[in-house]
Chain A
Amino acid sequence: MNENRRDFLKRTAFAAAASTLPLSAASADSAGTTSALPPVLNLGLLAALGDAVLPESLGAQVRSLAVRDFAAWAAAYRPVSEEMHGYGDQEITYTAADPSPGWRSQLEALELLAHRKHRKGFASITVEQRRALVRPQLPRGRGLRLPANIVGAPHVAVALLAHWANTSAATDLAYGVAIGKDQCRVLADAPRRPLPLAENRGR
């Protein structure tokens, strides 16, 4: 496959920052397919952020996968792609500018802030300390929902949380059953009550 301009820019940007990346570039995107694009976000910092904001009960392995999924999603983002204009929309609109540079800066700021306040890197401080650094960066409001549109997330922590919450697996966890939202599934199973998740069985 020919490398397009965007992929080239991502690759060269990645090369410049590669020495700071502790994790492999290969990762799985939100649909579970392997992406060969290098991550545009510092995976070490992102993993530390994921451990602070994603549910603890997911376990380290699932949180790590969620972080890699999010990084792969960001790496495969294409700005100014034609959006769905759909029924009722006469305007042709395009996807927004790449949010990754802003999120990358926010991660770097968290790292600097950790050094300033704790004399350690963001990944080296405790989860509670990380949360304390992230909390003031977040939008304010009562009952604030996670954004459905991740690109518009005002902070990388919100984007990471929203990306995970948009997954079928997260919805299943919230409802406690295997709905399989957005998955292609057997039609004949639709009338049945979704099966309880394994962790809930016997309760």
Chain B
Amino acid sequence: MSVRVIETDICIIGSGITAAMMAEKLVNERKVHVVVVEAGGTSGPLAERYERRRRWQAYGETPWPRDHIDDQNALGTAYGFSPSMNVGGLAMHWGGVTPRYSPEDFHVRSLYGVGDDWPISYEDLDPFYQEAEERIGISGEQGPPELDPRGKPFPMPALPLSYSLQQLKDWTAKAGIPMWSQPSAKNSVPYQGRGVCQRCDSCYPICPTGAKYSPDFTFDALVRDGRIALHTNTLVRRLHTDARGRITHATANATSGPERETEYRAKHFVLAAGFTWSPHLLLLSKSARYPDGLANRSGLVGKYLCGHRNVAAQIRLPLQIFPGINAQHSLVTKKFMRPGKLDKYLRHDLRVWESAYGSEPRLRDDKGEVLFGDAMLADWRTRAKAGVARVRGYYDVLPDKHSELTLDASAKNRWGDPMPNLQFRDAPESVALRGHSEDSLRALFREMARVGDGQVISNESSANDIGQEHPGGGCRMGSNPETSVVDGFGRAHDHENLVIAGAPTNVTASCCNGTLTFAALGLRAASALGANYQSAH
């Protein structure tokens, strides 16, 4: 089999949102040639998305068929993992919810004596958060500055609060909880050639209008303008080094079509393949010189997988709530992410949505009598008069060192590569705090209900111990090469021309969605990487 050789300045492995941000920044700001390599294919044009949405709504069919590779999947306790492998990655069907972490997240050891500090601060990341918000297009409302610090305003005004959310905001204010419009990657005004959100309520899993950002928009523009080369259906299976430890090339195989091997030679390599496939590739790339895989002097590649859990409730309130006005938009507060001094560590976010819980149409009434015709409608109308709020808090879970990804020889892809096995584990301090964390959140919900003359009608929580939400880690950043894989710019301690970007570099996963942070970390890494190349201006 002949080997295709591709030479470039920077080879980015993976094409999710972090890769999109980095590729765009690098080619905009530097005279540099970038090749992006993606194991999967493309998702199809925007014009198809109304019909895809229709089939999803009507039948539950995925709007993103074949967005994965059948023999490339993870095993183990993998809740939070998605098999999505396509241009745009998991962000093709994200909800577009884009909170920032809070300043405390970067210093939990210093402030609270738990977990580990990051090697960077919120202030270091603020300009890159801003840049990510501008590149993606975020609509947001700044909360009280003491809770929601930021250097500059959001690039777009906030999504307006629905009639229902306005009432719920008044209710939470009575409970002493300031809440505001959740920042979202959905256009509140026309932005970057894409239209305004039409609150179609299908942001997750598919926005039919393109008002919600997805990375394919960035890649489509970069490819159309000849700014990058995007190689799809090409799985990078190994990284190779020279005697000095520099990455010389990556070898890849075609995942569809005729069998083909490609060798990517580059000055720099960026591993932006998410929290699973980034450490997986490093572990696969072991050699005589690196028997434990690349970038693994610390032995921490694949370790400290991080995430969080949630506690949620449905609260019936004497309010007129009309669920469905803009169902995927919520209120948010950072009050509990910034708790000040604590006797027992607990940090969590809090969100409130309109809800139809308990108001659903019924086939039989409370006595078990069948409801036909107008009787069914009358029953539904009566039940719909009750206003219901859904509340949820993600609480910070500190990762154990052995919250880890390992290679599992029991499942191999067509080339014989062992697949990743994911095992999430809380650090002992988080194990000890779990009851306190969940009890405290439930007590908060009861108090919120009491203040609103309402009632908690359902308690929910992460239904499993089989994984964690918004996962990251596996190549944690740090200043000490003995206790971390990359530095604060994502540069591998062990390989001077290897950058690991986004989710895998997280030290902890905060207590909110991580995507914006992954993108900001990628942009910060791109800033440092770009300094190796001449300015484009």
* Known contacts A175-B384, A190-B162; A181 and B94 CB within 8 A of each other: no
Q: Which residues of A contact B65 (CB under 8 A)?
A: 81-82
CA distance A182 to B209 in the complex (A): 13
A201 at the interface (CB under 8 A from B): no
B523 at the binding interface (Cβ < 8 Å): no
- Taking CB atoms, residues of chain B closer than 8 Å to A83 are 60-62
Q: Quick check: B61 and A190 within 8 Å, CB to CB?
A: no
Question: Would you call B160 and A188 a contact (CB within 8 A)?
Answer: yes
Q: Which of A55, A88, A192, A194: most chain B Cβ within 10 A?
A: A88
* Residues of chain A with a CB closer than 8 A to B327's CB: 181
How many A residues, CB 8 Å from partner? Answer: 68
B364 lies within 8 A of A180 (CB): no
A40 interface hit (Cβ, 8 Å): no
* B205 smallest CB distance to A (angstroms): 5
Chain B, range 380-400, C-beta contacts under 8 Å to A: 380-381, 384
Q: Mark B27-61, 1 if CB is under 8 A from A, else 0.
A: 00000000000000000000000000010111111
Bound together, the chains give a CA A92 to CA B74 distance in angstroms of 12
Report B34 CB to chain A, min CB distance, Å: 28
Tell me, yes or no, whether B110 is within 8 Å of chain A by CB: no
Contact partner, A185, options B199, B205, B370, B374, Cβ 8 Å? B199
Quick check: A95 and B61 within 8 Å, CB to CB? yes
**Segment at the interface with A among B78-86, B442-450, B526-534:** B78-86
Among A2-10, A16-24, A109-117, A139-147, the stretch that binds chain B is A139-147
Contacts of A82 in B (CB 8 A): 61-62, 65-66
Contact A142 B68 (CB under 8 A): no
Determine if A1 is an interface residue (Cβ-Cβ < 8 Å). no
For the complex, would chain A's binding face be called helix, strand, loop or mixed by DSSP majority? loop
| Distance of A181 Cα from B373 Cα, bound (Å) | 22
Kindly identify which residue among B68, B166, B204, B373 contacts A54, using a CB–CB cutoff of 8 Å. Answer: B373
A119 beta carbon closer than 8 Å to chain B: no
Q: How far is the CA of A31 from the CA of B90 in the complex (A)?
A: 27
Residue of A31, A148, A171, A190 touching B326 (CB-CB under 8 A): A190
Residues from chain A with Cβ under 8 Å of B380 in the complex:
165, 174
Assess the B62–A90 pair: CB atoms within 8 A.
Answer: no
Give the residues in chain A near B62, CB-CB below 8 Å.
Answer: 81-85
Which A-chain residue is minimally distant from B469 (CB atoms)?
A88
CB pair B63–A187 under 8 Å, yes or no, is no
Q: Does B229 touch A at the CB level, under 8 Å?
A: no
Tell me whether B502 is interfacial, beta carbon within 8 Å: no
Contact flag A138-B384 (CB < 8 Å), given A82-B65, A84-B56, A144-B364: no
A61 is an interface residue with CB less than 8 A from chain B:
no
> Is A138 within 8 A of B59, CB to CB?
no
Cross-chain contact of B381 among A76, A176, A191 (Cβ < 8 A): A176
Contact A86 B205, beta carbon cutoff 8 Å: yes
Beta-carbon contacts under 8 Å, B192-230 to A: 196-202, 204-205, 208-209
A186 to B198, CA, bound (A): 5
> What is the bound-complex CA distance between A158 and B366, given in angstroms?
17
Across-interface contacts of A89 in B (CB, < 8 A): 82
A193 at the interface (CB under 8 A from B): yes
Contact check, A90 vs B74: say whether CB atoms are below 8 A apart: yes
Q: How far is the CB of A57 from chain B (nearest CB, A)?
A: 5
Q: Once the chains are docked, how many angstroms separate the CA of A142 from the CA of B365?
A: 6
- Is B414 in the interface zone, CB < 8 Å from A? no
Partner of A170, one of B93, B208, B361: B361
Tell whether, in the assembled complex, residue B324 and residue A191 are in contact, meaning their CB atoms are under 8 Å apart: no
Q: Is the CB of A78 within 8 A of B368?
A: no
The CA-CA distance from A90 to B81 in the complex, in Å, is: 6
Contacts of B205 in A (CB 8 A): 84, 86
Instruction: Report the Cα distance A102→B82, complex, angstroms.
Output: 34
Interface presence of A131 (CB below 8 A): yes
Which B residues between 74 and 117 are near A, CB-CB below 8 angstroms? 74, 78-84, 90, 93-94
**Most chain B beta-carbon neighbours within 10 Å: one of A86, A171, A174, A192:** A174
0 or 1 for each of A65-82: is its CB under 8 Å from B? (1 = yes): 000000001001110011
Whether A85 pairs with B83 at a CB distance below 8 angstroms is yes
Q: Is the CB of B326 within 8 A of A53?
A: no
Q: Is the CB of A57 within 8 A of B374?
A: yes
Instruction: Tell whether, in the assembled complex, residue A29 and residue B58 are in contact, meaning their CB atoms are under 8 Å apart.
Output: yes
List 10 A-B residue pairs with CB atoms under 8 Å apart, sorted by A's residue number: A78-B61, A82-B61, A86-B93, A95-B59, A140-B368, A143-B368, A148-B360, A177-B322, A184-B198, A188-B160
- A-B contact sample (5 more), CB < 8 A, given A87-B94, A138-B363: A84-B56, A92-B68, A144-B363, A161-B361, A174-B377
